[in-house]
Amino acid sequence: MSPVVSTQELTERLDPLLNRAGYVPLASLTVSGDAKRSFQELAHVLPTFWVGAPYGSLSFVGACQADRLDETTVTQLMDRIFRIALDLLPWTGQLVFHGGLGPAVRLGVFGRVLFVWESSPQVAVQKVQRIKRIHWFKKCQVVPWIVVLPHRRVYGHHGLPFTMGPPTVHEIQQLLSA
């Protein structure tokens, strides 16, 4: 297989990896009401994304071509995606304790946004890695990952939160080098 040279090619290679992990593309989902509206808005912001629901939480991975984005635009994009993620919280599962007598604990929404540069990034990678959005009490997290295709490198976010499950930085790195 040849090295990845475009955002489209990367998403085509990500699709089988994410499908094996239980993620599905938005086109495969059947949702209605406010959830449908939120997913449509997310699709408008991130044209390519997959959704999974491991253990009742909602997880998504999105990819966007970032060559024309500056730091301010990336920040605004992350803010908008985070707001949409907060809107999706009511559709996550709940854990009920004490035979239903205590309050239910809502599970979270976790998102990873792959900013893909097909040329060398004009925005400092270290700055973009730190533009993460977290609301600890509502269990909502959206983190940026940077993919630089010419260098065949993937940069995850710094620090907390720890992201669990596929795709990992290593798995995407392998896709780029294959």
Provide the H-helix boundaries in 21-58.
33-45
Indicate the number of domains in the chain: 1
143 lies in a domain? yes
The tokens for 176 are: 């780029």
pLDDT band at 86 (very low <50, low <70, confident <90, very high): very high
Q: What percent of the chain has pLDDT over 70?
A: 90
25 lies in a domain? yes
DSSP 156: -
Rounded Cα distance, 112 and 156, in Å: 9
Phi, psi (deg, nearest 5) at residue 121: -70, 135
2 lies in a domain? no
Q: Which residue has the higher pLDDT, 96 or 88?
A: 88
pLDDT at 3: 66
As a whole number, the mean pLDDT across the chain is 83
Rounded Cα distance, 144 and 129, in Å: 6
pLDDT at 77: 92
pLDDT at 84: 92
> Do residues 176 and 3 lie in contact, with contact meaning Cβ atoms separated by under 8 Å?
yes
- What mean pLDDT do residues 37-52 have? 85
Q: Mind listing the pLDDT tens digit for each residue in 18-40?
A: 888 888 887 777 777 788 888 88
**Other beta carbons less than 10 A from residue 97's beta carbon:** 10
Q: Which residue has the higher pLDDT, 83 or 53?
A: 83
> The domain containing residue 109 runs over which residues?
7-96+103-177
Residue 115 sits at the vertex; the CA angle it makes with 68 and 65, to the nearest 5 degrees, is 45
12 lies in a domain? yes
Parallel, antiparallel or unpaired: strands 140-148 and 153-155: antiparallel
14 lies in a domain? yes
pLDDT band at 79 (very low <50, low <70, confident <90, very high): very high
78 lies in a domain? yes
1 lies in a domain? no
